[in-house]
Structure 1
Amino acid sequence: MLSINDYLQAGETVVSNLVIENYRKIGLSDEEFLFWLQLYRSQKKGDLFPDLLAISEMLEKPKEKVYQLLNELVSRGYIRIDTKQNEQGQMMDTYDLLPIFDKIAGLQKKQLIQKEQQSEENAVKTLYQDFEKEFSRPLSPIELEMIGQWLETDGYKPEVIRLALREAVLNQAYSLKYIDRILLAWERKNLTTKEQIAEDQKRRKQALQQKEIEAESSVQEPLPKVTLHNWLNPEDSE
């Protein structure tokens, strides 16, 4: 039976879940990952350049197979062999196992780009659907081309085009030319995001309200008629 002392003396090897969850996605086989894990375990115990013969015995694989695994992982960039100076000033070889984390970072970046692209494609698809919903009819080829030009040539974001569509609908102007004028007006003001447009609309609304207040305050009430008394000639009093 395993004693608690045996368990404690054996130590532990902590591996990030990022490695466990993604080693297959970055191109490692189960066999390659297990070999990498043995190198990682040895380094955590202080052996930066472990004996491959010992690892072959632990994995119960021929030494030729273990050397093949190492060469394969080095050639594919999962492991680097570095030469460093130790505390005694001696040069020694070490296995750099960190490249695997660089590959995981690259995988995550690629996944993020794919997610953003998918989100953008969905936003564009929804935009066309919004136009057809507001216009209560399918879009004509010319209209489809014009919206495509806004997106691809002019670089307007779907959310900005959607705001311009909303402005047109509020003014009961179901015309892409009208929407185009709105977009051009925002572009001249360098308004490129929905937040900037919302802030501009807020400022315009506040300015309009201020003008209305000033206009109301400038209208004076007619003065009441005051009877004038001519003290020199009372008969001429009004």
Structure 2
Amino acid sequence: MDSFANTLIKSGQTTVATLLLEHYRELGMSNTEFLIYLQIKSYNDRGISFPQTETIAKAVGLTDNQIFQELHTMIGKRLMQIDTVQQPGQLARDSYDFTLLYEKLAQFVKKAEAETVTSQVDNDRETIFNQIETEFGRPLSPIELEMISQWLDKDHYQVGIIRLALKEAVLNQVYNLKYMDRILLSWQKKHLTTPEQVQQEREHRQQNQGATSVNQANNGTKKQKNLPHIPMFKIGEKPKDN
């Protein structure tokens, strides 16, 4: 193994969360602050919890005073803090703690997910508004728009369920939301909360109806077979012996 490969292996590696790499600027972190964080983390990964500012300054090409100012700014932004650890029988030691940075990252991700859900709900709302107006052949009134919003926000009906209720209303040529609301309530009472459950219940009902029809037909055939034989002849003629 050559000297470079040996040096590369001995120097170790510094791992960085991809999520942080993608969003550090959105957390209020500058490029210089992120570079300083990487330098500190590289030392932390090697077991050095509090590298000297002179060492960091040399690595990133800044003065010692500039590094001190950057660290002070990061503390003010609540991106990091300096902890003092006192071990029994040992001198107190300082260490850089980036827990606040990761707490910010967690809050950012949570907020982003909530905004994504809100955006999706708004898109679904607009889509279902347009679909109902298209099927009804007229604009929806403010009261009707509010009723649909309650289905989504208060009753938490899935968009797919509302679409199925709309389909039922159109098939029965009943173009009003009250009819759709009764359909949705009936499904809710049966604990049918997804389009798949509604479809399964519909197929099950059709199978039962088909089985009932077959049984009725079979019963009718049996009754006909059990009827007594009635000879057919014209009035005035003698019945023929069979």
TM-score normalised per structure 2: 0.78
What do you get for the CA RMSD once the two structures are aligned?
Answer: 3.0
Aligned match of 1:36: 37
Aligned match of 1:148: 149
Structure 1: which amino acid aligns with 2:31?
A: D
Q: Percent of pairs identical after alignment?
A: 37
| Residue 100 of structure 1: how far off its partner (Å) | 2.8
Structure 1 window deviating more from structure 2 (30-39 vs 68-77): it is: 68-77
Mapping for residues 78-97 of structure 1, pairs under 5 Å: 78-84=79-85, 91-97=92-98
| Residue 215 of structure 1: how far off its partner (Å) | 2.1
Aligned match of 1:190: 191
Instruction: Decide whether the 8 Å contact of 1:40 with 1:97 is kept in 2.
Output: no
Structure 2: which amino acid aligns with 1:122?
A: N
The answer to whether the aligner puts 1:181 opposite 2:187 as a matched pair is no
- The superposition leaves residues 73-109 of structure 1 with CA deviations (integer Å, 9 ceiling, x where unpaired) of 2343322333446698665332223443333232222
Structure 1 window deviating more from structure 2 (27-36 vs 49-58): it is: 49-58
Change (3 A) 1:196 1:91: farther
Structure 1 window deviating more from structure 2 (116-125 vs 56-65): it is: 56-65
- The superposition leaves residues 7-55 of structure 1 with CA deviations (integer Å, 9 ceiling, x where unpaired) of 4554443323323222112110011111111101111222111112222
| Residue 201 of structure 1: how far off its partner (Å) | 2.3
Instruction: Decide whether the 8 Å contact of 1:53 with 1:63 is kept in 2.
Output: yes
- Note the residue ranges of structure 2 that are not aligned, 5 or more in a row: 231-240
Aligned residues: 228
Aligned match of 2:112: 111
Distance in structure 2 (CA, Å) of the matches to 1:60 and 1:149: 59
| Residue 134 of structure 1: how far off its partner (Å) | 1.1
- Note the residue ranges of structure 1 that are not aligned, 5 or more in a row: 228-236
Match of 1:82, SS state, is strand
TM-score normalised per structure 1: 0.79
Match of 1:138, SS state, is coil
Distance in structure 1 (CA, Å) of the matches to 2:33 and 2:86: 28
Instruction: Decide whether the 8 Å contact of 1:79 with 1:99 is kept in 2.
Output: yes
Structure 2: which amino acid aligns with 1:222?
A: K
Match of 2:208, SS state, is helix
Aligned match of 2:205: 204
Match of 2:93, SS state, is strand
